[in-house]
Amino acid sequence: MKKPILYMAPIQGITNCVYRNAYSLLFDGYDFAVTPFIRSCAVTSNTCTALQDVFPQSNDTRFGLIPQILSNTPSDFISMAKALFGLGYKTVNLNLGCPIKQIRNKRRGAGMLPFPDEIMRMLNTIIPAIPNQLSIKVRLGSENNREFIDLVPLLNDLPLKEIIIHPRIGRQMYEGEVDLTAFAEILSLSKHAIIYSGDIDSPATFKLLVSRFPDIRGWMIGRGGITNPFLPEQIKKLRGGTAQDKLNRFINFHDEIFNAYQKTLSKPVFITNKMKELWKYWAKTFAGGDKLFKAISRTRSVDKYLVLVKEYFDSKPEMSKVKA
Ligand SMILES: Cc1cc2nc3c(=O)[nH]c(=O)nc-3n(C[C@H](O)[C@H](O)[C@H](O)COP(=O)(O)O)c2cc1C
């Protein structure tokens, strides 16, 4: 099997610069990360705070970074892409997949997919106007799984860097099955490099997908990689280590993230909220992690949080998900 190209998926609220930097310090395996979406606005300078998650001074990773923009307004997208180019980003990604109802209702994210003319108008306007290469991230549709497929032949004539596909429809949010039949149809129709995104949660799932789609350009890992941060290393067969080594690495990862939030967030409750978001996933990393999650959920105190987590790590919990 050739060496896979792995992308860290954008997960709003989680895979921000704090997470990415800590990840890159302690784990291997990702080649690229696409950032959580930045809402487009008219940007007059590349110091605009909307771009703070991608400021070069806040990002120190060993993988490439692709900023993602959520937009249905070509002029805003263009000004933001240009500012990002000024910050060194040679590729930007357009979000055509966000399933949140309020966003879809405004014809943004997956909400643009039922309007192919609008998408083509937008792409034909922005592509010649931006200095960056354009990558797009899509779903199969907003309401049905034919919306994007019908667009694929039209996209073949455009110079896209890649198409990242999460084969669900917007209405599904993140539930239900991924539609691999529709995905296969897109693969057969598209001339572009395709990146697959959806439900890769173990080396075994990854292997199955590779055997079904051997010619894919790359693979994106989201929730499965948060629950098991060792997953990209396991897929690429990098590093090893005993269970204790792995637990120590995980604890260091936790501490890096916690310390970064403690430095940057102004109120204790903001810090505990951020850590709770992560523990929604990490609770599944460990055998019996839900008990800790429940206890953490009840506290707004940073000191109490730290005591709970220290006690838990001192009990040397088994990382059951990591073994899978
Ligand atoms: C809480 C959450 C936030 C997400 N935020 C984004 C986002 O900002 N931009 C985006 O393109 N996709 C976003 N996604 C979708 C993921 O990038 C990914 O495509 C999807 O979760 C399927 O992959 P997975 O099963 O490996 O997680 C988000 C998913 C979740 C669960």
Whether residue 137 is contained in a domain is answered as: yes
Greater confidence, 220 or 288?
A: 220
Residue tagged 């004539």 (tokens): 157
**Any atom of ligand 1 within 6 Å of the Cβ of 95:** yes
Average pLDDT over residues 191-213: 98
Task: Classify each residue of 80-105 as buried b or exposed e, where b means 16 or more C-beta atoms within 10 Å of its C-beta.
Answer: bbbbbbebebebbbbbbbbbbeebbe
pLDDT confidence of residue 1: 65
Whether residue 1 is contained in a domain is answered as: no
Based on the domain organization, do 107 and 228 belong to the same domain?
yes
Whether residue 144 is contained in a domain is answered as: yes
- The token pair that represents 14 in the structure block: 């989680």
Whether residue 97 is contained in a domain is answered as: yes
Based on the domain organization, do 110 and 257 belong to the same domain?
no
Q: Is the pTM of this model over 0.95?
A: yes
Spacing, Cα 146 to ligand 1 middle (Å): 21
Based on the domain organization, do 216 and 291 belong to the same domain?
no
Whether residue 317 is contained in a domain is answered as: yes
Spacing, Cα 12 to ligand 1 middle (Å): 7
Q: What is the mean pLDDT of the chain?
A: 96
The 10s digit of each residue's pLDDT in 257-299 is: 999 999 999 999 999 999 999 999 999 999 889 999 999 999 9
**Any atom of ligand 1 within 6 Å of the Cβ of 108:** no
Q: CA-CA distances (angstroms) from residue 121 to 47, 81, 126, 186, 262?
A: 29, 17, 9, 21, 44
303, exposed or middle or buried, with CB in 10 Å at 0-12, 13-18, 19+?
Answer: exposed
Between 243-264 and 268-285, two packed helices, what is the crossing angle to 10 degrees? 160
pLDDT confidence of residue 269: 96
Going by alpha carbons, the residue nearest to atom 30 of ligand 1 is: 11
**Any atom of ligand 1 within 6 Å of the Cβ of 37:** yes
Whether residue 60 is contained in a domain is answered as: yes
Spacing, Cα 315 to ligand 1 middle (Å): 32
Based on the domain organization, do 247 and 232 belong to the same domain?
no
- The token pair that represents 28 in the structure block: 């291997």
**Any atom of ligand 1 within 6 Å of the Cβ of 166:** yes
**Any atom of ligand 1 within 6 Å of the Cβ of 10:** yes
pLDDT confidence of residue 324: 54
Based on the domain organization, do 116 and 223 belong to the same domain?
yes
Average pLDDT over residues 43-52: 90
Spacing, Cα 92 to ligand 1 middle (Å): 17
**End residue of a domain, out of 202, 221, 236:** 236
The secondary structure of residue 192, as a DSSP letter, is: S
The proportion of the chain whose per-residue pLDDT surpasses 70, expressed as a percent, equals 99
The secondary structure of residue 259, as a DSSP letter, is: H
**Residue 188: pLDDT band with limits 50, 70, 90:** very high
Based on the domain organization, do 31 and 123 belong to the same domain?
yes
Spacing, Cα 242 to ligand 1 middle (Å): 31
**Any atom of ligand 1 within 6 Å of the Cβ of 198:** yes
Based on the domain organization, do 214 and 250 belong to the same domain?
no
Based on the domain organization, do 206 and 57 belong to the same domain?
yes
CA 95-97-101 angle, 5° bins: 115
Spacing, Cα 10 to ligand 1 middle (Å): 5
Going by alpha carbons, the residue nearest to atom 4 of ligand 1 is: 11
Based on the domain organization, do 175 and 247 belong to the same domain?
no
**Any atom of ligand 1 within 6 Å of the Cβ of 139:** no
Compute, in degrees rounded to 10, the torsion defined by CA atoms 144, 93, 7, 17: -120
The 10s digit of each residue's pLDDT in 67-114 is: 999 999 999 999 999 999 999 999 999 999 999 999 999 999 999 999
Whether residue 141 is contained in a domain is answered as: yes
Based on the domain organization, do 195 and 106 belong to the same domain?
yes
The residue to mutate among 20, 113, 223, 280, having the most atoms of ligand 1 within 8 angstroms of its beta carbon, is: 223
**Any atom of ligand 1 within 6 Å of the Cβ of 9:** yes
Spacing, Cα 15 to ligand 1 middle (Å): 10
Spacing, Cα 221 to ligand 1 middle (Å): 9
Q: Is the pLDDT of residue 301 over 90?
A: yes
**End residue of a domain, out of 236, 253, 284:** 236
Based on the domain organization, do 226 and 153 belong to the same domain?
yes
Range of the domain at 179: 6-236
C-alpha–C-alpha distance, residues 246 and 319, integer Å? 9
The CA-based diameter of the chain, rounded to the nearest angstrom, is 58
The 10s digit of each residue's pLDDT in 126-175 is: 999 999 999 999 999 999 999 999 999 999 999 999 999 999 999 999 99
Q: How many domains does the chain have?
A: 2
**Any atom of ligand 1 within 6 Å of the Cβ of 174:** yes
Based on the domain organization, do 228 and 251 belong to the same domain?
no
**Any atom of ligand 1 within 6 Å of the Cβ of 97:** yes
Q: What is the CATH number of the domain that holds 49?
A: 3.20.20.70
**Any atom of ligand 1 within 6 Å of the Cβ of 68:** yes
